[in-house]
Structure 1
């Protein structure tokens, strides 16, 4: 069981129930939207276990993915409109020992630069997975109130950047920020399993030859799927 510093003294998880005792006197209102329904949860890190899943923001309904669908190391993580079917791989993640692994790239969510900056923005990115002894900036825990926090620093959480509606736009940047008492939907996340979604809603991109030979035909509509 990972140790949590400062904010939470105890952390107990069951498949659909979160129980917590706080060492801090700070209190927050409970929010039913924070509940994750019908997903088996890891008893150690709080994420869905043995599942590919979307990580969805409560401020805009968008999901985490690498910028420009890149599979390269160092590429920043942003939020994008949720996609399904063939082109959803870049938006799907799996937890393995606290690492959040992207299905398309095989890389993990990482604190860019390796540490949280005090006076400058700290972005998250995808990067090659490191050995456990060097992975302090790559392992995460899901807190009961809906926050995703670095395993060794639960006073900071993943945060959608922006103000005055910018944070609700597709492509908003995702940072590490100090945990907030107010306006906290920018910092709260829910999970959706891959197989909870329709098999195909977004069509694959056809090759040029396919477009020429089948320009009058379409078999990509959802209502045609048997």
Structure 2
């Protein structure tokens, strides 16, 4: 069984979550106030590590940099993992 974690932004104290609790490809990853473990929607904020991937508990999708963008303010999304290694999904 996986261990689940909140990923907390040091500058704000907020955690990352999938916007709107979406389970779809390309849903935005945002920062948001940490939810209680008793909150039924907390799974959208919980993540686990599998190999080089960070995976959302609710959706089962991985953190992805949209289009592999390397510029400042690149959009972070969730997406299905690709069968071949891609630099914008793996640590």
User: Normalising by the residue count of structure 2, what TM-score does the alignment of the two structures yield?
Assistant: 0.87
Larger Rg belongs to: 1
User: Following TM superposition, by how much is the alpha carbon of 1:51 offset from its aligned partner in structure 2, in angstroms?
Assistant: 1.1
Q: Report the counterpart of residue 135 of structure 1 in structure 2.
A: 86
| Matched pairs, number | 88
Alignment partner of 1:77 is 2:47: no
Which ranges in structure 2 are unaligned for 5 or more consecutive residues?
A: none
Alignment partner of 1:87 is 2:41: yes
CA contact (8 A) 2:66 2:77 kept: yes
Q: Report the counterpart of residue 58 of structure 2 in structure 1.
A: 104
Alignment partner of 1:126 is 2:64: no
Larger helix proportion of the pair: 1
More contact order relative to length (CA 8 Å, sep ≥ 6): 2
RMSD in angstroms over aligned alpha carbons? 1.4
User: Following TM superposition, by how much is the alpha carbon of 1:70 offset from its aligned partner in structure 2, in angstroms?
Assistant: 1.1
